[in-house]
Amino acid sequence: MGDRAATEEAVARPIRFLTGPGRAQLVARLELQMDAIRRPDLRRLMGQAQGQIVDLCRWVVTELGSSHPDRDTALLMALVDGLLIAELKGATSDEGQRRRVRPMFDAAVP
């Protein structure tokens, strides 16, 4: 379980940053994302920039022993996106965030 906790932390850390000190960066990213929905050129650029996030998520699900890395990478990315939005919509504590991150992982890689 030590490894699992460390892997969990690898995703929990950027989530903590983006919903804490990096909040403005997260809001800017979401605004860009909204524009990208309308502009294919921007969508392409965003897709390229997202490579790092894809790599992190793929590493995490592989590390957690996923037998369907493609599926679980997409699932984890959708979860992280949804979780970030949920955090912005409500005021939450660090403890609450940890409580939500853990089931997310357990769900992403059963």
Q: Which of 41, 42, 21, 40 is nearest to 31 (CA)?
A: 42
Q: If binding is defined by CB under 8 A, does position 36 make contact with its own copies?
A: yes
Return d(Cα 41, Cα 88) in angstroms, integer. 27
Q: If binding is defined by CB under 8 A, does position 42 make contact with its own copies?
A: no
Q: Are 11 and 105 in contact (CB under 8 A)?
A: yes
Between residue 46 and residue 85, which ones bind its own copies under the rule CB under 8 A?
46-47, 68, 71-72, 74-75, 77-83, 85
The nearest distance, CB 10 to its own copies, in angstroms, is: 18
Q: Are 77 and 54 in contact (CB under 8 A)?
A: yes
Q: Which residues of the shown chain bind its own copies in the complex (CB under 8 A)?
A: 27, 30-31, 33-34, 36-38, 43, 46-47, 68, 71-72, 74-75, 77-83, 85-86, 88-89, 99-100, 103-104, 106-108, 110
